[in-house]
Amino acid sequence: MAEIATFGAGCFWGVEAAFQRVSGVVDTTVGYSGGETPNPTYKDVCTDETGHAEVVQVTFDPRKVSYEQLLDVFWQAHDPTQVNRQGPDFGTQYRSAIFFHSPEQEAAAKQSRAALEASGKLKRPIATEITPASTFYRAEEYHQKYLQKRGVASCHF
């Protein structure tokens, strides 16, 4: 049975592409989560006033890929030490965030963050928030599989 994981790591186009390459990922959907505004549009989220982050909702088969492996992809797909930005994109919508869907995901995310912090690989503290998943709002259709539709492998990173 498929499970859901939700990650925010900057612009959702590149993050989605990173997860699409993972064997065991059944589907990816980009959208908005973690804010107060119901049914936000991309234009709303870009105002930095909705509280939402750009996120990727990952549907995965846990028999083929573990949540811990998805966390590894998440950490590698962005700079988790940046606060409310990734590369040239800035604002709370680009924050680093893990939205957990179960107590097991919460524990794994916190353990993964602690292990990365203890590894000494990062020169600054991790800014990633780990919070319960809230309502996921699917982004407009033109954002879905954006890079794949254009034959591009990644964003500006």
What tokens were used for 13?
A: 């186009």
Q: How many domains does the chain have?
A: 1
pLDDT, the chain, mean:
92
Give the confidence band of 152 by pLDDT, cuts at 50, 70, 90.
low
Say whether pLDDT at 150 is over 80: no
As a whole number of Å, the CA-based R_g of the chain is: 14
Catalytic residue annotation = 11
In this structure, what CATH number is given to the domain that contains residue 106? Answer: 3.30.1060.10
Establish if 108 belongs to a structural domain: yes
Predicted pLDDT at 98: 98
Establish if 155 belongs to a structural domain: no
Please state the pTM of the whole predicted model.
0.92
Establish if 156 belongs to a structural domain: no
DSSP letter assigned to residue 33 = E
Contact 146, 13 (CB under 8 A): yes
**For 40-84, how does the pLDDT look when each residue is reduced to its tens digit (9 = 90+)?**
999 999 999 999 999 999 999 999 999 999 999 999 999 999 999
Establish if 98 belongs to a structural domain: yes
Report the percent of the chain where pLDDT is more than 70.
92
Establish if 126 belongs to a structural domain: yes
Establish if 60 belongs to a structural domain: yes
Establish if 75 belongs to a structural domain: yes
Alpha-carbon span 11 to 9, nearest angstrom: 7
What tokens were used for 34?
A: 């973690």
Which domain, by its residues, includes 53? 3-150
Establish if 140 belongs to a structural domain: yes
